[in-house]
């Protein structure tokens, strides 16, 4: 039992560390994604200027107006989020797996049970990491006025942002937008688990690499990520807008959700 607990703790630590390390490379694209998702918020299509035409244009524009460091805005919050969310998600999945939740009554691995366990683990990770994702989104949205999209919160850093949100909105304010984050991560986790093994098997069947090569896992992961992005993006847009929205005295969010429907995003 002790060895099993150590293994689960190691899964938690390694999962969080790996995700945090990858975040350094992917954060510029996260900045671009956040800006593009906030562009035209609650505006009818064609009624607003498109500052960011595509990802490559956005990278160049942000680098020119905000400087190269502008492409790494919110990096500390992003690393914190990835460490918390993926650490809890992978650790929780390992724990559920050890308890037998991923197997059927005959003791065999069940795809349906694995997907359900992955979704549950994703929900846990999303809740724990939500305050960090809130700050990450707001910091990444901040930019020079000429290319600004969405509400500008003007936080100065991770710690000051957390303190400001807590003082202005209370402890529950740190979890504002979590209702969009939970289905986002649940769907992403379920899609990943549902497609990863199949993608790896496809790579093996096609004999692109030797069956024991690490490239099999890499190729399978890249193929699986396509399914993750397709299924998760609508929830990602909703989550980003909920996190970045300005908050009035009663914290209304319904009009933002209705606006997404009116805009035809969901």
What does the pLDDT look like over 219-266, one tens digit per residue? 888 888 888 889 899 999 999 999 998 876 554 454 455 555 555 554
Residues 61 and 34 sit within 8 Å (Cβ to Cβ): no
The string over 233-248, giving b where at least 16 C-beta atoms fall within 10 Å of a residue's C-beta and e elsewhere, is bebbbbbbbbbbbeee
pLDDT tens per residue, range 182-219: 999 888 888 887 787 778 778 787 778 877 787 877 88
This prediction's pTM: 0.80
d(CA 91, CA 53): 39
Work out the average pLDDT over 119-145.
93
Give the pLDDT of residue 11: 59
* Total count of residues recorded for the chain: 266
Mean pLDDT over the full length of the chain? 83
| CA dihedral angle for residue 71, residue 156, residue 18, residue 5, rounded to 10 degrees | -170
Give the pLDDT of residue 266: 47
Give the pLDDT of residue 29: 93
d(CA 22, CA 227): 20
Give the pLDDT of residue 265: 52
Q: Per-residue DSSP letters for 176-224?
A: TTHHHHHHHHHHHHHHHHHHHHHHHHHHHHHTSS-TT-HHHHHHHHHHH
Is residue 21 over pLDDT 80?
no
Q: Residue 16: which pLDDT band, with cuts at 50, 70 and 90?
A: low
d(CA 28, CA 24): 8
* Residue position matching structure tokens 């299924």: 231
Give the pLDDT of residue 208: 80
Give the pLDDT of residue 129: 94
């Amino acid at each position: 039992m002790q060895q099993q607990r150590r293994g689960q703790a190691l899964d938690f630590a390694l999962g969080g560390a790996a995700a945090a390390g990858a975040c350094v490379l992917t954060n510029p694209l996260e900045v671009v994604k956040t800006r593009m998702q906030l562009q035209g918020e609650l505006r009818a299509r064609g009624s607003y200027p498109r500052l960011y035409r595509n990802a490559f244009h956005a990278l160049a524009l942000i680098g020119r107006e905000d400087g190269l460091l502008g492409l790494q805005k919110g990096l500390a919050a992003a690393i914190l989020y990835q460490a918390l969310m993926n650490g809890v998600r992978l650790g929780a999945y390992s724990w559920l797996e050890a308890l037998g939740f991923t197997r059927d009554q005959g003791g065999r691995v069940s795809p349906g049970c694995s997907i359900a366990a992955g979704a549950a683990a994703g929900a846990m990770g999303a809740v724990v990491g939500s305050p960090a994702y809130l700050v990450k989104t707001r910091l990444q949205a901040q930019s020079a006025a000429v290319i600004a999209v969405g509400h500008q919160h003007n936080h100065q850093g991770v710690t000051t942002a957390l303190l400001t949100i807590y003082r202005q909105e209370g402890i529950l304010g740190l979890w504002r937008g979590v209702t969009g984050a939970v289905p986002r991560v649940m769907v992403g986790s379920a899609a990943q688990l549902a497609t990863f093994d199949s993608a790896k098997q496809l790579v093996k069947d096609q004999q692109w690499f030797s069956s024991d090569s690490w490239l099999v896992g890499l190729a399978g992961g890249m193929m699986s990520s396509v399914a993750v992005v397709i299924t998760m993006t609508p929830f990602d847009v909703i989550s980003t807008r909920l996190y970045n929205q300005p908050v009035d005295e009663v914290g209304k969010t319904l009009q933002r959700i209705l606006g997404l429907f009116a805009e035809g995003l969901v």
